[in-house]
Structure 1
């Protein structure tokens, strides 16, 4: 065995590559014995070098550290940590287990019969100092929520490397042509696809945790999306870090920002019956929220078995360090926080809001320009939409629910729809935030696709192996006469029109719009509204559907373009309902079938509004009308002195739903067909 130069080392976390060696460091307050193991090959079962740390030399406070001279990038490592095994006090130490470093920049893939190891990576080479980020304002953003593997895994995607980081690069032009300015990537932290034990009860196919919401290494891009045919070989040398970096660069070159869906509310170590992979073996009582009556058990605010103790200073530090790494060195542009309300809870589970790590993140000196997006609810009933600190945008679940109800014709929705259209000031105006902090969406990965939303009354999750009990039962969906797929041209036409209606609302509303991967081409999951475990053609994006749904794609693209061309649809400030430019018109006015006479009654299913050019220096007023009634209605148009109205959008005209050259309207009325929307501009 070679001899290595051993020094006490420094307390900087992780495996830090230096000129002549590597500095290693981890946190463990309650450990009594800590051993570092170095491996030459990823699949070696015996370490090439092992060193047991001396607490008198290799410990500063609660941080254990050692410097090993003579090794460099490309070695593998892990920690063995011993201490009390006292479940009632929350301690689960076991020196026989090889643990992953929470700060590992890359980890080996899962290989049967082998423990995962950290890969020593020189992260200095990922500092893109010459690479400029797009830095698109929220108000100018169009977010596209997508999954790296599912986007190109289908053979008909036509890419060279399906289901990979590199495969996505080959399809970036699809997103750029659509008008997307940011992608929101489902989790890319290393996770275990095989953590689900069940099988499809119909086919027997093993279920996979394809979404990736069970992280085991927060610093490491997952090896599941490598382009290599032999992913194990590629992952063993850290190719996944390089390929992820190439993907970020390619997106930025196309002017598209990269937002990561991050899961800091729980880990893939599960509950008291789950595996010990990293944090559980390093210092379980610090990293996790445990039940106060018996710390053998985990608090389960996440619904996945455990909950990270995000209010503890050590965990706060870890989360902030991780975010800084991805934002500063891996060069991503922002983060969407899964079940973000958990980060706002104290150790007793109570909501802390501005006193929590949420405020620390938004005020952090490194992250001050990062996009921060919260999912403001959790699995324990916490619903804190609109209560996040300044600097946070939020998924607006009320926008989703309101639009769905209005589109399917529910009564009593008109007033709430108006509130959502103007940017949800009831949620975001009181704390000084702006309209664009409302992330407006109608569909997301968690639920029906937009095509399924207009095709199914009930979820169809039987193949998930949970007897159709999983997934949300409150979908506010409507099948328009037939459950599921149909060849009836009238139903197909109506479903497409309803999708266009939803796209109109999404693109004319104040806030930041987000669309779901595949909605622009009619993606279906056959009614499965919780496809987290389906790594198959049901869930893979079917690019052949583009031909059948090209009209939806073109309409979506044109509505995105219309939004970008009209700054009054992307306001910096909330409407005031006053004349802001002296032309005698309010910055927004509400209408029904009669101008300036909106119908706010419970039975109303119509809404119209006019947006003035205001201070946005826009060349024209915009008039929008929605009719979710089952009959067509005549709308009297408001009079604009010296101007006339021109039609841009009419979803009731399937052949000319969007006119790229607006057409003048004769007379002062416009008939809005049943379940249709119109958009007019004044010239």
Structure 2
């Protein structure tokens, strides 16, 4: 696209600059995952036809249509039309496109928008072994790429944990997003689900040869609320979009911490800060592949707009001044937590830490109870310090991760509105507990890399806060 070139340089320059960007990122050790949208095009719907390409070439080939209703366009993408991905001609186009990005631009992988559309037949009916998904999985050029599905579409085909994957496809874990949001904000009955998501979502991904890293864990994505807005708004505020507030998701599982939107109340703002740190801590200690939204590291706000894609304003532009202003507080915590994850292999295991028999028909709490029915029952990698799984009102979870060399990690999350005095288990032999994280404390005490000694047999975990202890010599 010409507008992607700097200084109006045109399409050739745009192409060259993209290649230079990929080269520079690779030089810095950063892979490039391209977001691709093969589920719909810009040609709109039957009421507002916008003929620029495929519908003017062969509408019935390139789009899913209802042959029993005057070949009306089917709409599983929410944009008026649906690309006919599993038609042989369309498959060839998509595969050629993907190969082109790999061979010509050297991208490292793809995230497929509304990927469940790729799992529909030419009439829109869901199919179990979609030819296109299989072809991408087996293609010789694409075999070295990371491939990630957004495993749902706007027609209700929700395939989280069930996307046809040939042991290669990773998935955006929408259940992780929802369960983490609900537990951290204090919803009842979410502790078992929260534990299962933290532990790698084995209920969804421990099938065949899939691994924890096939779960792309996220609390925030480019769609929906930013992290700051998640803790600042109960409702979406999309008036600026000009659609009467009818656009955007209604189920955000957000909590404004007591006041809707911006406020000068110091207590509310402190609570919001804790909650953002709680979310980030949970994400960084979860088994799987973590994903963050750019801007959350300094607390970017869109003022409650959860469908802001059409705005070229401050709500979508990265605010470098805010990053600079918050670099010693919010940004510092986020940065140090990422570094902590990278330096502790126990947080990035390549195999599932649970050993319970997998069943997709029982809920998370029942699964955990099958394996850990009593308090402090340990299994190699993890100890759940819990005997209260079935208490719907319990919003506190503590557990230990074991690295096999004594460098254990203790974590506790308190989503109650009151503090919890929790018993701290004995550290491994010849080790002592050091407090690395307490999200209730102000910077720089909220994260101390070397740890703070003197941890006693109990610890008061403040309301809506979390702690991380590390066993050290």
Structure 2 SS opposite 1:353: coil
Query: Which string of whole-angstrom CA distances, capped at 9 and with x for unpartnered residues, describes residues 387-439 of structure 1?
Result: 12120000011111111111111110000001101111111112320001000
Q: 1:601 to 1:223 in 2, by over 3 A?
A: farther
Match of 1:556 in 2: 334
Q: Retained in 2: the 8 A contact 1:289–1:299? A: yes
CA contact (8 A) 2:202 2:354 kept: no
Helix, strand or coil: the match of 2:148? strand
Question: Following superposition of structure 1 onto structure 2, how do residues 396-435 of structure 1 map, counting pairs within 5 Å?
Answer: 396-435=173-212
Shift of 1:682: 1.2
Matching residue within 330, 339, 343 for 1:565? 343
Larger radius of gyration: 1
Structure 1 residues 596-648: Cα deviation after superposition (integer angstroms, max 9, x where no partner): x354411010011111114xxx6511111000111111111122342221111
Using the alignment, how far apart are the partners of 1:409 and 1:562 within structure 2?
Answer: 26
**Is the 8 Å Cα contact of residues 577 and 589 (structure 1) preserved in structure 2?**
no
Which of 412, 418, 421 is matched with 1:631 structurally?
418
Deviation at 1:279, TM superposition (A): 1.5
1:287-325 Cα deviation digits (max 9, x unpaired)? 111112134411111110111111111111111111111
What corresponds to 1:651 in structure 2? 439
1:383 aligned to 2:158? Answer: yes
Please state whether the residue corresponding to 1:521 is helix, strand or coil.
coil
Aligned to 1:331: 106
1:284 and 2:59 matched:
yes
Match of 2:220 among 410, 418, 443: 443
Q: How many residues are matched?
A: 446
What residue is the counterpart of 2:5 in the other structure? 226
How high is the TM-score relative to the length of structure 2?
Answer: 0.91
Counterpart residue number, 1:261 = 35
Report 1:11-160 matches (<5 A).
none
Deviations along 1:627-671, one digit per CA (max 9) or x if unpaired, are 011111111112234222111111011130111111223321111
Per-residue deviation, residues 106-136 of structure 1 (Å, max 9, x unmatched): xxxxxxxxxxxxxxxxxxxxxxxxxxxxxxx
Contact 2:226 2:301 in 1 (8 A): yes
Is 1:591 the counterpart of 2:366? The answer is no
Deviations 1:355-406 (A, max 9, x none): 4311211111111121111101101111011112120000011111111111
**What is the alpha-carbon distance in structure 1 between the residues aligned to residue 406 and residue 330 of structure 2?**
28
Is the aligned partner of 1:496 residue 2:273? yes
CA distance in 2, matches of 1:274, 1:430: 43
Shift of 1:262: 0.3
Cα distance in structure 2, aligned partners of 1:429 and 1:481:
39
Q: Quick one: distance in 2 between partners of 1:295 and 1:548?
A: 59
Q: Does 1:477 align with 2:254?
A: yes
Partner of 1:392: 169
Match among 86, 102, 111 for residue 311 of structure 1 = 86
Structure 1 residue ranges without an equivalent (≥5): 1-221
Which has the larger strand fraction?
A: 1
| Separation in structure 1 between the aligned mates of residue 78 and residue 91 of structure 2, nearest angstrom | 21
Partners in 2 of 1:315 and 1:644 — Cα distance? Answer: 61
What SS does the corresponding residue of 1:559 show, helix, strand or coil?
A: helix
Structure 1 position 353, deviation (Å) = 3.4
Change (3 A) 1:494 1:548: farther
1:607 to 383, 393, 397: 397
1:353 and 1:359 in contact (8 A); partners too: no
Q: Tell me the alpha carbon deviations over residues 437-488 of structure 1, each in whole angstroms, 9 at most, x when there is no partner.
A: 0000001111000001111111000010111111111111111121111112
Contact 2:118 2:130 in 1 (8 A): no
Q: 1:413 to 1:621 in 2, by over 3 A?
A: same
Cα deviation per residue 1:535-592 (whole Å; 9 max; x = unaligned)?
Answer: 112221222211443211111111111111110110110014599xxxx863111114
Which deviates more from structure 2 when the two are superposed, residues 599-608 or residues 348-357? 348-357
Structure 1 distance, partners of 2:178, 2:125, is 26
* 2:428/2:471 contact within 8 Å kept: no
- Mind listing any 5+ residue stretches in structure 2 that lack a counterpart? 357-370, 372-377
Q: Distance in 2 between matches of 1:410 and 1:224?
A: 45
Query: Whole-Å Cα distance in 2 between the matches of residues 335 and 322 of structure 1?
Result: 12
Where does residue 375 of structure 2 map in the other structure? none
Structure 1 pair 353/248, CA: closer, same or farther in 2 (3 Å)? farther
Give the Cα–Cα distance (whole angstroms) in 1 for the partners of residues 334 and 141 of structure 2: 35
Please name the residue that 2:359 is paired with.
none
Which stretch of structure 1 is more off in the superposition, 353-362 or 283-292? 353-362
State how far apart, in whole Å, the 2-side matches of 1:623 and 1:354 are: 42
Equivalent residues of 2:86, 2:130 under 8 A apart: no
Pick from 26, 34, 39: which aligns with 1:252? 26
SS for the counterpart of 1:544 is helix
Matched, 1:352 2:127: yes
User: Structure 1 residues 411, 548: CA separation in 2 closer, same or farther (over 3 Å shift)?
Assistant: farther
Note the alpha carbon deviations across 1:7-29, whole angstroms, 9 max, x for none.
xxxxxxxxxxxxxxxxxxxxxxx
Residue 45 (structure 2) aligns with? 271
1:210 matched to which residue of 2?
A: none
